[in-house]
A = this chain, B = another copy of it.
Amino acid sequence: MHIGLVGLGKMGFNMRERLRAANIEVTGFDSNPDVSDVTSLAELVSSLQAPRLIWVMVPSGDITNSVITELSEHLDAGDLIIDGGNSRFTEDQKHGALLAEKNIGFMDVGVSGGVWGLKNGYGLMAGGSTENVAWAMPILDVLRPEGDRADSFVHVGDIGAGHYAKMVHNGIEYGLMQAYAEGYELLAKKDIIEDLPGVFRAWQKGTVVRSWLLDLMVKALDEDPGLESIDDYVEDSGEGRWTVEEAIANAVPAPAITAALFARFSSREDNSPAMKMVSALRHQFGGHATKPSGS
């Protein structure tokens, strides 16, 4: 089997490795010539025999849009584009409709596993037609971990459903990380805890909270027991936000996931306007001292 792969960053690069190691022929394109096998999307397309399967693994939003649009100009009816990035499910539905006009197929595959996927395999959530899922299955079977297919792959539904499941996966991930992190701080601030990294390490086997994220926390604390080298500034990518937006759109109470998102927002604020106002109010009614700005 021979496929095209657009995007050779942290995720795509590793996926090419994993696919090639399983004797899937992969022609990769990236704007970085150091890692790219071809010099353009046009060359990528012409290197493949129809019907072509091209996996797109680039940042969601404008870049994914432009890659899919440009590909659609080079591909033929009967070809298939798989968006393996983190696109919003509504984007998938637009892309699917655009490509359907040219009889080009489309699938969305949510991919989880991070930089460890190269070695461990990736968890995969697919949206699209049964026919296209079947076409892509040899690729999917290589990308996912060994063992029962159902433990690492699911055909969630039609176009968009794969990325919807991945979006929810990431929302859950936000909540899980926040819960562990709150526990970490509770232990870190209590004087009777003499072996904080040891607590996390001892949770790895046997406890109810054991998980892969816990294993990674143990690893992080092993590398830097007090997390001294790390700032408390946390970015968020789109999917946490979209999860909360979907919670709102569907009237689902999602307080834990939302708390995780807001905690990241707070972590990036040097001087919160809201808390300045609370301080100002306390001064106004109670004569409580405010702290001068910048102190």
Contacts and interface: CB of A to CB of B under 8 A. Distances in A.
Interface of A: 10, 89, 112-117, 120-125, 127, 144-145, 147, 150-158, 160-161, 164-165, 168-169, 171-190, 192-195, 198-199, 201-214, 216-217, 219-220, 224, 227-235, 241, 243-269, 271-288, 290-295
Contacts of A256: 175, 178-179, 182, 255-256, 259-260, 263
B177 A278 contact: yes
A246 B262 CA distance: 13
Nearest to A171: B183
A165 to B, nearest CB: 5
Contacts of A269: 232, 253
Nearest to A144: B206
Contacts of A272: 185, 232, 253, 267
A212 to B, nearest CB: 5
B277 A248 contact: no
A199 B122 CA distance: 14
Contact of A273 (B171, B188, B235, B295): B188
Contacts of A124: 202, 206
B267 A275 contact: yes
A179 B181 contact: no
Given A184-B273, A202-B152, A193 B157 contact: yes
A190 B246 contact: yes
B279 A203 contact: no
Contacts of A114: 208, 285-287
Nearest to A183: B172
Nearest to A259: B255
Contacts of A262: 253-255, 258
Contacts of A285: 114-116, 208, 212-213, 216
Given A158-B192, A185-B252, 4 more contacts: A112-B207, A181-B274, A183-B257, A255-B263
